[in-house]
Structure 1
Amino acid sequence: MSAEIDESARRRPTRAEAKARTRRLLLDAAARVFARKGFAGASVEEIAESAGFSIGALYSHFGGKEALFLALMAERGLGRVAEATHTLERHGAGTGETAAELGRLLVHTADEDTDFAPLQAEFWLYAVRNPHVLDTMATALREPHQALEGLIGSWLAERGAPPEVGAASVASVVAALFQGLVRQRRIAPDSVPEELFGQALIWLFTGIGRGAAATTADQD
């Protein structure tokens, strides 16, 4: 009887589970190979071999090296938005604790996740030099941008921002600020202390809030 129970416990994964596992292993292998060799130096052959799969499996799941790299970028972006969301849920918008945690997130990205920022810069240059890639890049990164837009939208609603202050536009500014400060900290760490990103967000949203108050006062 125990043998039958053990056998039933070792059920075969469903097709969806097997597909998700293959995708995860390919993404993990790609992250390692890209970190060692950069986007241009990495090959689909090496990534597939590192993951323990055939090149055909890589193309079946991602279509090629560009799509695989963009999937990694989107995953990292969604992870950062999720961290920011959890921070806001714990401490609330506009608090010192939130600003401090967001600052630590930026510092971790710049100082600990040292491989990915250069890879992003390398791929950006590649996409600019190959314009057909730009549309693919924009499509792949739409999900993390929409997640950030939803987070910003809630924050704007709390502060009573006027309708003309769109969440999509503010999300673009916040994303550019984050990426720019990560690069600046890599160049000159002292110029981007841990508290700067959170403080810059306070400046941004305080300005939006004051703009909303001024608009209301003018209407009165």
Structure 2
Amino acid sequence: MTTEEPRRQRLTRAEAKARTRKLLLEAAAQTFARKGYAGSSVEEIAEAAGFSIGALYSNFGNKEELFLELSTTYNADRIAEASEVLLDQDADPVQAVNEVSRLLVDAADKDTDFSLLQAEFWLYAVRNPQVLDQMATRMRTPRAALEQLVGKSLETMPAPAEATPKAVATIVAALFEGLVRQRRIDPDQVPEELFGAALRWLFSGIEVSGREKKVAAPAKRKPAKRPRQG
């Protein structure tokens, strides 16, 4: 090595651990996509990443944890993309909703391997309650981000009390996941603009319901004035 060549800096322990986790997750994603969740083994994943089984288990407790980490990151990234589009103050509202619709199309048409893996893992988790509990816990992070995004929209309208960010976020997530699966089955039944239209219908209904309840709410009666005593 000549004196002009920069010396390679040694990674800190935290940096090395982060790099190992990243490589293991990348290898897991490739292995799962190629062989499915059930057909993949931790041995294959560790070998594909260039690490020992011990290195894998020092970063992830088991294969379920590996997949849940991938799934959580995937969902968080999709929500972050939607947030960036919808919270852009300069964006045209109609165009923004259309952009969000394209996220669904990408999930159904381009991320086919991962959507299939999520369906496979869902079946596995339903049959294994302890894994289902882990799945629910992991999904709270991206779901909280979705609740925050939904909450910002609800602040701009007279929403009824029961239309909480948590409740509406649950419906939005169910719409997205359900339409992704429907588009995989029959793309003609789920055109690109359908998810955006469904979101408009949902929030329009919430706004109308909020206005109706506001009008129907009885006015507070003022206390009767006491007659003056002479």
| Shorter-normalised TM range | over 0.9
Tell whether the 8 Å contact from 1:160 to 1:209 is kept in structure 2 after alignment: yes
User: How much has 1:162 moved relative to structure 2?
Assistant: 3.0
**Which of 176, 181, 184 is matched with 2:182 structurally?**
184
Q: Structure 2 length normalisation: TM-score?
A: 0.90
**1:125 CA drift (Å):** 0.7
TM-score where L is the length of structure 1: 0.93
Alignment of 1:172 onto 2:203: no
Amino acid of the residue matched to residue 20 of structure 1? A
Report the equivalent of 1:12: 10
Residues in 2 aligned to 1:92 and 1:198: alpha-carbon distance in whole angstroms: 19
In the alignment, which of 159, 162, 166 is matched to residue 160 of structure 2?
162
Match in the other structure for 2:134: 136
Using the alignment, how far apart are the partners of 1:160 and 1:58 within structure 2? 50
Task: Say whether the 8 Å CA contact 1:29–1:48 is kept in structure 2.
Answer: yes
Structure 1 window deviating more from structure 2 (73-82 vs 16-25): it is: 16-25
Q: Note closer, same or farther for the CA distance 1:92–1:143 as it changes in structure 2 (3 Å cut).
A: farther
User: Would the aligned equivalents of 1:91 and 1:98 in 2 still touch at CA under 8 Å?
Assistant: no
Distance, in Å, in 2 between the alignment partners of 1:174 and 1:93 is 21
Bigger fraction of residues in helix: 1
5+ residue gaps, structure 1 = none
Mapping of residues 207-218 of structure 1, within 5 Å: 207-218=205-216
Q: Find the counterpart in structure 1 of residue 40 from structure 2.
A: 42
Computed over aligned residues only, the root mean square deviation of the Cα atoms, in angstroms, reads 1.7
Q: Which has the higher contact order (CA 8 A, sep 6+)?
A: 1
Deviations 1:32-76 (A, max 9, x none): 000011110000001111111111111111101000000011000
Aligned residues: 217
Structure 1 distance, partners of 2:9, 2:161, is 54
Note if 1:109 corresponds to 2:107. yes
Deviation digits for residues 131-174 of structure 1, max 9, x if unmatched? Answer: 12111111111111111111111111122323321111111111
Deviations 1:93-120 (A, max 9, x none): 9921121001111001100011011111
Structure label with greater radius of gyration:
2
